[in-house]
Amino acid sequence: GAGVSQSPSNKVTEKGKDVELRCDPISGHTALYWYRQSLGQGLEFLIYFQGNSAPDKSGLPSDRFSAERTGGSVSTLTIQRTQQEDSAVYLCASSPPTGRYEQYFGPGTRLTVT
């Protein structure tokens, strides 16, 4: 079946511009996660959605970052007034509702802020 998809695969933007990154999770998966992976670094948790519950936003690094999930499916991560330190690969993952807890990752969006 179809896996997690993310778009765009690559995004180059100028400092100060806003960007939107999209994630389409696997159909039926209720949990959705956003992570950031900087060069040579591990995965930095950003935000977590579970069904209709309030999202866990504890990992968002600043108020320039926000995310929403519409209809319990597609999610958009928005970065306002991008900075060079925002350059990274942004990964999305989803998990099924119960019984299995592994995450299925998308290919990521490589964001470069010039």
DSSP string spanning 50-66? ETTSPPB-TT--STTEE
Name which of 80 and 103 has its Cβ closer to other proteins: 103
Considering the rule CB under 8 A, would residue 33 count as an interface residue with other proteins?
yes
Name which of 16 and 41 has its Cβ closer to other proteins: 41
Considering the rule CB under 8 A, would residue 108 count as an interface residue with other proteins?
yes
Residue found under tokens 């511009």:
17
Interface stretch with other proteins, choices 17-25, 34-42, 60-68, 78-86 (CB under 8 A): 34-42
Name which of 31 and 74 has its Cβ closer to other proteins: 31
As a whole number of angstroms, the distance between CA 103 and CA 81 comes to: 30
Strand-strand pairing, 104-105 and 5-7:
unpaired
As a whole number of angstroms, the distance between CA 52 and CA 18 comes to: 27
Binding site for other proteins (CB under 8 A): 31, 33, 35, 41-43, 45, 48, 50, 56, 58, 91, 93, 101-108
